[in-house]
Amino acid sequence: MFTARFAVGVLILLLARSWIWRDKRQRILPPSPPGQPLIGHLRVIPDRHPEFQYARWAKEYDTDILYFNVLGRSIIVLNSIEAAHELLDKRGANYSDRPRFVLFEVMGWGVTLTFLRWSPRFVLHRKLLQKSFTQSACKAYQPIQAEEARRAARAIVADPNGWEIILRQFSTAVVLRVGFGIEVQEKDDPYVKMTLDVEEATGQGGVPASNVVDFFPVLRYVPNSIARLSKLFRPLIHARRTKRFIQRLHDAPWESVESSIRAKEHLKPSFVHTQFDQYLVNEAAGKPNDAMIEDIKGIAGAITIAGGNTTWSTIIVCILGLLKNPEAYAKARAEIEDVIGVDENRDLLRLPTFEDRPRLKYLANVLHETTRWQPLSPLGVPHATLADDEYNGFHIPAGSVVYPNVRAMSRDERHYSSPEEFCPERYEPVDRGGRGEPLPDGPFGFGRRACPGKYLAMSGVYIVISTLLATMHLRCPKDENGNEILPNIVFSDGLSGVPGSFGCLITPRSKHAEVLLGC
Ligand code: HEM
Ligand SMILES: *[C@@H]1O[C@H](CO)[C@@H](O)[C@H](O)[C@H]1NC(C)=O
Ligand SMILES: *[C@@H]1O[C@H](CO)[C@@H](O)[C@H](O)[C@H]1NC(C)=O
């Protein structure tokens, strides 16, 4: 009974929407595969990893821009770096909105920059985050990252099989310390646990902006008793069930630092410490505050959710690339020996630091190649357009959802030869034997929505990978015949792709290496 009524309701909503959305002037839209009446391309777009099919369509129709209509909503997919630069960067002011992420709002991510629509609040959050994590502002966080990287390496020495979870704890500890400034315990930290739970819950929210409540926001009010009748509502029930975890992540770390900041004790380099201290100074001086406490908490929460899995996955992909390309691994190690110096046993004289980074040029290309080879968000985070626009004669309606197909860009053979290869040399200039290919530009997004945490993230990846290369052997496990088991990678769908587990033996190079780490 309820379901029948519900179905009729949805149909009416659809009809109304398709009527409103009909383009009355019949302008030429970008190419698209044939759709179906009313629901458009809903069932034409693959559920899982659509980036591959988008790339095939782009080839088939010989276009770098594709159009889809899903339940009356316009979707634009950009398949070349040129299109993304032209629209998302150059015409950024029109392309910096987001679609509504209703499911994530229900979950409690309502004041999280990533999901904020274009608004004064967006402008405020964006400004604060951007200026807190510029290349030079990130220097303040380097000691935290170095300390956590060494702690992670020691933990791997003690528990080699736990390397994946240990590295995940590394990235989580860094964002918690950088975001909230809380102390993280050596083992079984409750805040780290809390954050891992939240990442789990959020990851299970599925592909962003693709859920029934994302398409029809009023459906978020459907009571659970009815929602349970259809599997379409499973994500909604999941969101309601996990909301309290997300709330707790915003409140608990805050509560643990609030009073010490008020008392001006132990001021630490962290977003919350800096911003809340400023807030109190303004308050005492009778000056108005732009950022309210809710904003500060929201931004710290954004740092935590946006920076945890992403940094971790990048580290894992880098290890994967090095395992798959032993030559690159050997070169990266040799460069570290060269820059830091070795004793008669080929033991390094000291651990790598951030001061070494400018001289570790090959390693820099290893990190670039990591982001190109397996972009973590193959379709980025969708942007939305604020005004009607035109590109190459095609009409782009206001309110369109725009996906940059970063995966397709990274495989573009006009720019990258043998794009499936993990090959750091591709960026080296031709006159030094390299291929002179352009650095990847896209794995961190575009325009006014580009990732503000890029420098922080890549500093974290740098210090972990250089520390591991300096102190450990990284090897593939062997099967019973002594052949190496090469890792096979599968990426999850969702907010960011997370690589599946693979075997890797990480063992200390020598007793001396353990001593350097402080084991
Ligand atoms: C290697 C790790 C990371 C990768 C690959 C990554 C990638 C991305 C991408 C693709 C976007 C969407 C950009 C767009 O819409 O065009 C994004 C947005 C964002 N990232 Fe990162 N990110 C990483 C680490 C971090 C870290 C450590 C932080 C912490 C400060 C962070 C904070 C954010 C925020 C707040 C947004 C939303 C920006 C907005 O909507 O205006 N990210 N990131
Ligand atoms: C983070 O990684 C974990 C472990 O692979 C995964 O289960 C979860 O869904 C991911 N979360 C997000 C938000 O990507
Ligand atoms: C946004 O698009 C409209 C219509 O094409 C144009 O008039 C306006 O200048 C654009 N704004 C920017 C900043 O590109």
What single DSSP character describes residue 404?
Answer: E
CA–centroid distance, 306 to ligand 1, in Å, is 6
User: Beta partners for 403?
Assistant: 77
Candidates 90, 389, 390, 391: which one to mutate for ligand 3, based on the most atoms within 8 Å of Cβ? 389
Ligand at shortest distance from the CA of 498: 2
Residue with tokens 């769908």: 493
Any domain includes 5: no
Any domain includes 167: yes
- Segments forming the whole domain that contains residue 480: 95-377+411-517
Q: Which of 371, 308, 316 is nearest to 499 (CA)?
A: 316
* Residue 199 CA, closest ligand 2 atom number: 11
Residues in contact with ligand 1 (CB, 6 Å cut-off): 113-114, 126, 129, 133, 302-303, 306-307, 310-311, 314, 376-377, 380-381, 383, 443-446, 449-453, 456-457
Any domain includes 298: yes
CA–centroid distance, 31 to ligand 3, in Å, is 22
Distance, in Å, from the CA atom of 460 to the CA atom of 202, rounded to the nearest integer, reads 22
* Residue 308 CA, closest ligand 2 atom number: 1
Q: What is the CATH number of the domain that holds 207?
A: 1.10.630.10
Distance, in Å, from the CA atom of 277 to the CA atom of 181, rounded to the nearest integer, reads 12
Any domain includes 206: yes
Residues 6+ apart with CB under 8 A from 423: 325, 328, 369, 435
- The secondary element (H helix, E strand) that includes residue 256 is helix 234-262
Q: State pTM to two decimals.
A: 0.94
* Residue 498 CA, closest ligand 2 atom number: 5
Residues 6+ apart with CB under 8 A from 497: 313, 374, 375, 376, 377, 378, 491
Neighbouring CB atoms inside 10 A of 514's CB total: 16
Q: Which of 187, 210, 194, 170 is nearest to 45 (CA)?
A: 210
What single DSSP character describes residue 124?
Answer: H
pLDDT digits (tens, 9 = 90+) for 297-313: 999 999 999 999 999 99
CB 464 within 8 A of CB 149: yes
* Residue 305 CA, closest ligand 2 atom number: 13
Distance, in Å, from the CA atom of 496 to the CA atom of 493, rounded to the nearest integer, reads 7
Any domain includes 449: yes
Residues in contact with ligand 2 (CB, 6 Å cut-off): 199-200, 202-204, 309, 494-496, 498
Any domain includes 387: no
Neighbouring CB atoms inside 10 A of 223's CB total: 7
- The secondary element (H helix, E strand) that includes residue 395 is strand 394-396
Residue with tokens 């110096």: 341
For the Cβ of 389 lying below 6 angstroms from any atom of ligand 3, the answer is yes
Any domain includes 16: no
What total of structural domains would you count in the chain? 1
Encode the chain (519 residues) as per-residue pLDDT tens digits.
445 555 555 555 555 555 445 555 678 999 999 999 988 998 899 988 899 999 999 999 999 999 999 988 999 999 999 999 999 999 999 999 999 999 999 999 999 999 999 999 999 999 999 999 999 999 999 999 999 999 999 999 999 999 999 999 999 999 999 999 998 888 889 999 999 999 999 988 877 777 889 989 999 999 999 999 999 999 999 999 999 999 999 999 999 999 999 998 878 899 999 999 999 999 999 999 999 999 999 999 999 999 999 999 999 999 999 999 999 999 999 999 999 999 998 899 999 999 999 999 999 999 999 999 999 999 999 999 999 999 999 999 999 999 999 999 999 999 999 999 999 999 999 999 999 999 999 999 999 999 999 999 999 999 999 999 999 999 999 889 988 888 877 777 766 677 888 889 999 999 999 999 999
Any domain includes 14: no
451 is in an annotated binding site: yes
